[in-house]
A and B are shown apart, each in its own frame.
Chain A
Amino acid sequence: MPITAEPRHLDARYDVTVVGAGPAGLAAAIAARDQGAERILLVDRDAEPGGILRQCIHSGFGLHAFSEDVTGPEYAHRYVERVLERDLDVLTDAYVTDVTREHRVKLMSPTTGVTTVDTGAVVIGTGARERTRAQITIPGERPAGVMTAGLAQKLVNLHGYLPGSRVVILGSGDIGLIMARRLTLEGAEVLGVFELLPHANGLSRNVVQCLDDYDIPLHLSTTVIDIHGHERVERVTVAPVDEDLQPIPDRSRDIDCDTVLLSVGLIPDAELARQLQLSLDQRTGGPVVTSTYETSLPGVFSAGNNLHINDLADWVSQEATVAGAAAADVALGRTRARQDIAVTPGTNVRYVVPHTLSTDLTQTVSFRVKQPIYGDTIVRIGEAHRRKVRAVVPAEMVTITLGPRLLAAYAGETLRVDAVPAEQAEDAGTDGATDRDGAG
Chain B
Amino acid sequence: MAEHTDRSTAAPQGEVETFTYLCTGCPLGCRLEVDAVDDDVIEVRGFTCKKGERYGIQEHTDPRRAVSTTVWLGSGPMARLPVRAAEHVPKDEVMAFVQALRGYLVEAPVTCGDIVAEDVAGTGIDLVATRSVAAADDLTVVI
Contacts and interface: CB of A to CB of B under 8 A. Distances in A.
A167 B96 CA distance: 21
Interface residues of B, number: 35
Interface string A67-103: 0011111101100110010000000100000000000
Contacts, number: 109
Interface string B57-89: 000000001101110100001111011100000
Interface stretch (A110-118, A203-211, A298-306): A203-211
Nearest to B112: A77
Contact of B78 (A5, A58, A158, A393): A158
A80 B79 contact: no
Chain B interface mostly helix, strand, loop or mixed?
loop
A391 interface: yes
B94 to A, nearest CB: 8
Interface string A190-209: 00000000000001110111
Nearest to B66: A59
B112 A2 contact: no
B9 interface: no
Interface string A1-25: 1110100000000000000000000
Interface stretch (B10-18, B36-44, B115-123, B135-143): B135-143
Nearest to A74: B130
Given A48-B141, A57-B82, A77 B48 contact: no
A159 B142 contact: no
A71 B140 CA distance: 24
B112 A73 contact: yes
Contacts of A59: 66, 68, 84
B54 interface: no
B68 A374 contact: no
Given A57-B70, A159-B80, A160-B72, A204 B29 contact: yes
B39 to A, nearest CB: 19
Nearest to A398: B27
A57 B79 contact: no
B130 A71 contact: yes
A217 B93 CA distance: 21
B4 interface: no
A76 B131 CA distance: 9
B65 A213 contact: yes
A256 B86 CA distance: 38
Most buried by A among B24, B94, B143: B143
Contacts of B132: 77
A49 interface: yes
Contact of A204 (B27, B79, B131, B141): B27
B24 A57 contact: no
A391 B27 contact: yes
B2 interface: no
Contacts of A50: 143
Interface string B30-55: 00000000000000000011000000
Contacts of A3: 140-141, 143
A92 B141 CA distance: 10
Nearest to B69: A185
A398 to B, nearest CB: 9
A71 B98 CA distance: 16
Given A58-B68, A77-B130, 8 more contacts: A1-B143, A73-B112, A77-B132, A157-B70, A204-B24, A209-B24, A212-B22, A374-B29
5 contacts: A3-B141, A69-B66, A71-B68, A213-B65, A390-B28
Interface of A: 1-3, 5, 47-50, 54, 57-60, 69-74, 76-77, 80-81, 84, 92, 156-160, 185-187, 203-205, 207-209, 212-213, 374, 390-393, 395-396
